[in-house]
Amino acid sequence: MAKYMLLMSYSGDTACDLPMGEWPPEDIRAHIDFQHALDAELRDKGELVDAQGLAGPEVAKTVVSDGRTSPVVTDGPYPEGKELLAGYWVVDVESEERALEIAAKASAAPGPGGVPIRQPIEVRQVMSAPA
């Protein structure tokens, strides 16, 4: 078994450039149902370690410190056309193939009109034995 983190980003590189707030309500509903069903599947298979969505970049802060003077805290990031983390899953699976399969499913989450958004999902193996 190995753990993988599947990172989902807001990205220009999807089939859907409409912000979710502007989708028809039933499509938002379908999207949320899809995410719940995916989490339920992972839980049912005994593969889910953690899954979280992150609050938007509007409330994000970035901290930089040299460990001596007071840290510099800035609002954002507000990247332009750059990828920004939206949420993640941590799964514990038999193989990399299975992690990729889950990522593919997540990427095909339905958008407006039920069309898959094709959101890019980054698949990263979690290092074992944190010392």
Interface positions with other proteins (CB under 8 A)? 1-3, 43-50, 92, 94, 125-131
| Distance between CA atoms of residues 126 and 72, nearest Å | 30
6, 121 contact by CB (below 8 A): yes
Smaller CB separation from other proteins, 45 or 82: 45
Give the shortest CB-45-to-other proteins separation in angstroms: 7
Give the shortest CB-54-to-other proteins separation in angstroms: 20
1, 99 contact by CB (below 8 A): no
Smaller CB separation from other proteins, 51 or 108: 51
Give the shortest CB-41-to-other proteins separation in angstroms: 11
62, 73 contact by CB (below 8 A): yes
